[in-house]
Each structure stands twice: as C-alpha cells, then as structure tokens.
Structure 1
C-alpha cells in the first residue's frame, strides 16, 4: 500500500473538512458525533490533516485526546506542522501536550523536519522550548546541525551552533564542518570555524575537510581552511600517503592546486613510501594539472611508486596501450615536456639509475618520444640504455628517425 498518497475514498468527512480548513463543517460533524480518531490508509487522523494544512482553528477543535497520535510512518501532528513551517500550529500543539522530541520511524523529529525545510521561525521556537539538539537522526546518524549545513542555511546554522555539539560525528565520523567542506558551504564553514570546530578532524577513512574540499574543487573552502590552520600535509588515507594536493591534481582543480603547491611538503615528490601528485594528475587524465606541476618543478621521474604500481610518471604515461586507461593520455606538449625534464635530470647526474624510467617503455612509444630529441645530444647513460635494448632486441630504432 502506498502511504505517500491519500485517496479520497479512504478519507473521512471529518478529515476532509480538517484538511480544507473548513472549521464550520468540522464543528457540525463533531456535533453529529463523527469520530475524530478515524485513520486513512496512511494512518492519518483529522488532527494530522489540520496540522499539515496549517489550520490552527481546526487544530484547536480536535487536538485534545489525539495530540501524540502517530501515522504509519510515525509522524505526529507536531512533526507535520513543523515540517511544513506552521509555527502557530506547533505552538498550539505544544501547549496541548505534544511531545516535542517524538521520533518518527526513521528517527526524524519535529526540529529536524523544520531544519530540513528551512523553517527558521519554527526552529527558533522549538529551540526556545527545549527541543533536543544533539540527537542523531536518519540512517546516516546526522544531527540537526549536519542537516542545516548540508542545506546551506546559514541563519539556522548560526542558531544551532550556539546550542549544538559542533563536533558531533555521524556513523562515518563525519562532522558538520566536514559536510560544509564537502558541499562547498563556505559561509557555513566560516560560522563553524568561528564556533571553534576542528578544521583538522579526520573521518573514518582518515579524510580531512581540506582533502574533501580539494577533491570537490571548492577553492574558497580550501583557502578558508588553510587560513585557519588546516594541515595540508596530514596523511588522509589508510591505504597510501594521500594528501589534499593529490586529490586536487587527480580531479584537475587548478585553482585549488595553486593554493596547495606552496604549502605542501615537497618530500611527497621524491621520498620513498610517498607518492608524487604528478602520478595522480596523469592517472586522472588532467593535462592542466600535469602542466602546472611540471612548471612548479615536480619531477616526471619522481620515485618508484609501489602503491600505484608505477615506476615513474613518465613510464606510466608511456606504457603500452593494453595496460593503460585511455583517460591518462596526455597532449603532445605534455609528453614532450616530461621527457625534456627527465633528460635534464639525467644530464645533471652521473647515476645511470635516473634513466630507469625508460627501460620498460614500449619500443614504438620510445621511438615516438625520441622524435622530439636530437639524438646527438643524448647523455651517455641514456645512450647506454638504448644500446643495451638494441642488443637485447627489445627495441629497434625507427628507420626514418634522425640520429
């Protein structure tokens, strides 16, 4: 049975009068002895109808013995009135003994419903009447503050931070501030920061507000978090050393990347057991991220990255087609830029290991890359690699390529 729709042939005459706000007809029916507690297919009584319609006068005529009756979904008349923003009806029902904190079947309540609907006057009234503010609701265990932030209602958030636990976690340890960062609610984020909320809180998977804001591309939120002490070098993953800069690089959020590069520890670009953000830019197929990171000095031969099964960014981008994801293909100028940077590194070191990125490059790809380089200027270690591969018959120069 569908409890979301009320069918006309199941509604009593009393309920129909209450729904339409026809007090005169309602009183006549009551005087005739018509029942006030009859229910429709949703479990609604005439009081539910009057409360949902915002008819305070009809509510006054019928609320006495039925004020906390619940529908099949667990909704009281007070809940329905709050959900629809009828503050005068809510006031009447509370005076008649309505349970202000009565929960529905899905653990919602009058205050949560008012917050969700953006009914600020109802929220203010319920708070003044002592409504419970820190109880968790819905399957995700959000509080009213979580919901207000998600909705982006700054006025209600400003009301709630005065009485709520700003660090209240949901079932995934997500706090209201994390929600603000995730959905780009910059004004709500500012209110929560001013209220003392932790900008470096970590949720169940270690993600921080700065990481999620970087991933979603909320530049203003990123800058606000950084300006108030958010740590750009906090590890944000249980699986590998992920930083906010990695998320910005992978999803191509250039303005966020510009904010993070100056404050991120560059050890992630070269130290063992770390991951260069260049890997993630290539993996995400974000050529603008690649170009910016290269311009800022991030190495295309950063480190052997066992976490992502890559020996270097350039090697990954140059891997044979069957092992590549099409979205990782770079534009010609990016590939050339990466090769040039790699060769410059080779020229400044005597360690042949710096050329290891090319040992496993497919032969055709290698010839393609070498088209952009004067072979006579190749450093000795690189030439040694080519001679070795030619001898092993793992690479054959293209007959039309110049040397």
Structure 2
C-alpha cells in the first residue's frame, strides 16, 4: 500500500487577518478497512505554526479533523522563501490503542513501520496578504505568484479594491493577475473615479493599455484624465488617451473650473501645454476664480510656462475676480524674475517709443530687460532709434542695449535710424561699435553705412536736418 491515510485537500489555505488568530481546518481519512492508523503531524516552521493534535489515532475507514494555527497574531503575513508545509506520517496500530507518550516514542524511532503519507503545502490567502504583497512587491521574490495564490480567499468587492491598489502600485503584472481573478475594471472609488486616474498618476503606460484593453470606461468630468496626465507632464499618456478613449474634451474642467492647460501651467509643464494647444486647447479659459492659465503659471513662478502662454494668448493684463493680473500674482509671491515678462518690459518699450526717459529709468530699475522684444522683434533701442530719441538711445546704450540686434525682418536699430533719417542717432550708434552683418570690420563710418544701405549720404543728412 502506498499510504495509510489521505488528506482531504491538496493545499492548506490559511486566511490571514492582521493582528488576529488565524486557523485552517483539514481532514485526514484512514484508507485501511480493518486497521486503525496512528498519525503524526509536523510543520516545517514550528515557530510560526502549531497543530491542535500532533499525535492521533484514526479508526478504520474513518476521518479525523485537525486545526493548523498561526502561533502568534501579526500585522504582516509570515511569508517564507521556502513554502511552509504540514508533513503527515503514519503507522499501523493493530491494538488500536496507545497513549500520547507511546505515539511519541513510536514516531521518534525510525524504521520501516513508519510511512510518510503526505506533505501538504500551506499558503496564506486573503485580502490582507494581497495588500501586503502589492505594497512590498519589490522586496519579495516571486511576489506575483504568491499574489495569485492569495486571491483565492478574496470576495468580488475585495478583488475590486485590490485592483485599485494594484493600479496605484504601478505593477502591471499585479493588475493583470487581479483582472484575471475577477477584479472589476469598472469599479468606481468613493469619489466616483475609475481606475484610469490611478494608473495615470503612476505613469505606467502598460497599465493604461491593460485597462483600455479590458474595457475600462471613464467619465471625463469626474476622472479628468487629461488633467492627471498634464500634472505629471506625460504627453505620451495624453496621446494614448486621445487615441484609445474616443472623444475627450481638452477644454473640460475639473472641480476648480480648471482645464488641463491650467494644471500644466501650475506645474510648469510646457510640453503638456503645447500638446493641449495642438489638439484645440484654449489658453484663455478662466477658472471659477477668474484665473487664466497665465495666472496659474505666474503664481508659481513658472518662467517657461509663462513664456509659452504669452506667445499663444492675449491675457497678459486680464484680471481675476480679485482684480489681479498675472503680474500682481507674481509680485505677491515674490517671483521677481517674471516682472519684466509680465509688465516692466512693456513699460520700457512704451517709454522708448514716446521718449519717456524717466519712465524708462523706472522700468529698468524694476528689472525690465533692456533687450526685451515686442511682437515684431523690436527692442526698445529699435523704437528709440526709429523715433530719433537721442536721450532714450543714450540711456539704453548705457544699460547694455545690443547695437547689432536684429528684428524679425532683419532690421537693426541702425537701419531703423538711417531709414528714418535720424543722423544724430545713427552717429551715436556708430560710435558704440555698430557692425554690419557682424563682418570683421569693427565699426563703419556713415559713408560706408550709407553705401551698405544703398542710400545717399546727402539724403540721410537732409533727413536729419528735417
């Protein structure tokens, strides 16, 4: 005979509960028709497990019940590298009677009278085990296979909650295991959100694809998936969302009335802003406080985002419900590096156009960039030279204005002065080392300059007198 008793189960699944006593019952059946059988039960890890009856006697063709107990309550399942097991050894007992001491001596003495009938593996199962594995997967070998085993002790609701936890963990293998075990991909959280925002926050593109392939549906007004992707500056995720989730409104708003561009602006994520703009995003939408994306970027001192938004919107001086423009928010929060972009650069350009030397001095003192350009690429020096404002030109040159700087059409301040007939300004610029096309010659006299511009020197001088 191969064995004397037969276990009722092939594996003992111990449902683990944090901080509680955990037990699992199992049965052994005597296969002998006429002979009682003595049984000895041992565990591979006696420090962790105990059994209510180590030695017992089972009558012929009868069954006996046993309880495996986790010795000490714990907050974490005591998982081991080598799987735990219960070893079942047996011996025939013709007399049918024996004391515990007799049985102990019987199984302590090796010999052919002893049979090793079974080795029953022990596994920890249940949601607490699964949560532990998900949270510590990087530290536990074969955590995914252990997770799959642990799920047999979970209800449908527990599987759904664990699936949310797995999405948050960023482990795609766990997500697959939970979906395969019956985890509902359209289970909503207490806030009504789907699993998709959780996956986006982890930035794991594989999990997003798994959820899409498994039929995860979103409610954009609640899930705000583009907002989530914009917050982590993941344009690749935004592209996938647009490709696989159908109609997504890039100008949809969250609970604050903010679009994905607002969110990207707050974080200074220029790539996300540019993507939203490329698919129809409106950079001039205001939130419930009257803030534009520019307000958001300015309030956080996001220089690159401010530059990007200034190029694509016309809300530099738009005020929120508190009457504040983006410039005021930058000042309130001490973002002095934005003041030129948001205000003082404009003041300097305007003062240069009207020869307001006092206004120019104030703007420069407040941090205005002397080479700030307008929408046509003109600097304050271009304007002052074109208008023939000698005092303004001198002031700008004293503050480091570039003499050879060119506008969008390739015009230098010198060319503006010459074509406008301002000989005194041209002479002043020439004296400050003006170079034509940055050639090797260091500076040009007015005659050479006139020839370069195909103008008659006499005409230039006459214009200067006019």
TM-score by length of 1: 0.51
> Could you tell me how far 1:48 is from its partner in structure 2?
3.7
CA RMSD of superposed structures (Å): 4.4
* Matching of residues 131-146 of structure 1 within 5 Å: 131-135=216-220, 143-146=224-227
**Partner residue of 1:215?**
299
The structure in which a higher percent of residues are helix is 1
Structure 2 spans left out of the alignment, 5+ residues: 1-15, 23-69, 88-118, 138-142, 352-361, 372-466
**Gap change, CA 1:261 and 1:77, over 3 Å in 2:** same
Alignment pair present for 1:165 and 2:249 = yes
Structure 2 distance, partners of 1:69, 1:26, is: 30
Alignment pair present for 1:60 and 2:153 = no
**Partner residue of 2:366?**
291
> Could you tell me how far 1:202 is from its partner in structure 2?
0.4
> Could you tell me how far 1:289 is from its partner in structure 2?
8.7
1:220-253 superposed Cα distances (whole Å, 9 cap, x missing partner):
111111222343243x32243x322333344454
Structure 2 distance, partners of 1:26, 1:79, is: 32
**Contact between 2:261 and 2:276, CA under 8 Å: does it hold in 1?**
yes
> Could you tell me how far 1:31 is from its partner in structure 2?
6.1
Structure 2 distance, partners of 1:19, 1:157, is: 42
1:92-126 superposed Cα distances (whole Å, 9 cap, x missing partner):
22233211132334555533222222323212322
Aligned pair partner of 1:25 in 84, 87, 90: 84
**Contact between 2:156 and 2:183, CA under 8 Å: does it hold in 1?**
yes
Which secondary structure state, in structure 2, belongs to the residue aligned with residue 10 of structure 1?
A: coil
1:288-330 superposed Cα distances (whole Å, 9 cap, x missing partner):
897247999xxxxxxxxxxxxxxxxxxxxxxxxxxxxxxxxxx
Single out whichever of 244-253 and 203-212 deviates more from structure 2.
Answer: 244-253
**Partner residue of 1:390?**
none
> Could you tell me how far 1:179 is from its partner in structure 2?
0.9
* Matching of residues 84-163 of structure 1 within 5 Å: 84-107=169-192, 109-135=194-220, 143-162=224-243, 163=245
**Gap change, CA 1:294 and 1:63, over 3 Å in 2:** closer
**Gap change, CA 1:184 and 1:101, over 3 Å in 2:** same
* Matching of residues 27-46 of structure 1 within 5 Å: 36-37=125-126, 44-46=127-129
Which secondary structure state, in structure 1, belongs to the residue aligned with residue 366 of structure 2?
A: helix
**Gap change, CA 1:212 and 1:62, over 3 Å in 2:** closer
Structure 1 spans left out of the alignment, 5+ residues: 1-5, 38-43, 270-286, 297-403
Structure 2 distance, partners of 1:98, 1:60, is: 12
* Matching of residues 273-292 of structure 1 within 5 Å: 291-292=366-367
Alignment pair present for 1:10 and 2:20 = yes
> Could you tell me how far 1:62 is from its partner in structure 2?
4.3
Structure 1 distance, partners of 2:81, 2:197, is: 30
**Contact between 1:150 and 1:179, CA under 8 Å: does it hold in 2?**
yes
**Partner residue of 2:340?**
258
Structure 2 distance, partners of 1:59, 1:165, is: 38
**Partner residue of 2:161?**
76
> Could you tell me how far 1:180 is from its partner in structure 2?
0.8
Which secondary structure state, in structure 1, belongs to the residue aligned with residue 158 of structure 2?
A: coil
Aligned pair partner of 2:313 in 194, 216, 229: 229
Which secondary structure state, in structure 2, belongs to the residue aligned with residue 160 of structure 1?
A: helix
The structure in which a higher percent of residues are strand is 2
**Gap change, CA 1:94 and 1:7, over 3 Å in 2:** closer
> Could you tell me how far 1:173 is from its partner in structure 2?
0.5
Structure 2 distance, partners of 1:255, 1:49, is: 47
Structure 2 distance, partners of 1:27, 1:192, is: 60
> Could you tell me how far 1:175 is from its partner in structure 2?
1.7
> Could you tell me how far 1:91 is from its partner in structure 2?
1.3
Alignment pair present for 1:185 and 2:269 = yes
Structure 1 distance, partners of 2:156, 2:332, is: 53
**Contact between 1:233 and 1:264, CA under 8 Å: does it hold in 2?**
no
TM-score by length of 2: 0.45
Structure 1 distance, partners of 2:77, 2:365, is: 65
Which secondary structure state, in structure 2, belongs to the residue aligned with residue 69 of structure 1?
A: helix
> Could you tell me how far 1:169 is from its partner in structure 2?
1.5
**Partner residue of 2:321?**
238
Single out whichever of 82-91 and 257-266 deviates more from structure 2.
Answer: 257-266
**Gap change, CA 1:108 and 1:51, over 3 Å in 2:** farther
Q: Which of the two has higher C-alpha Rg?
A: 2
- Report the count of equivalent residues: 257
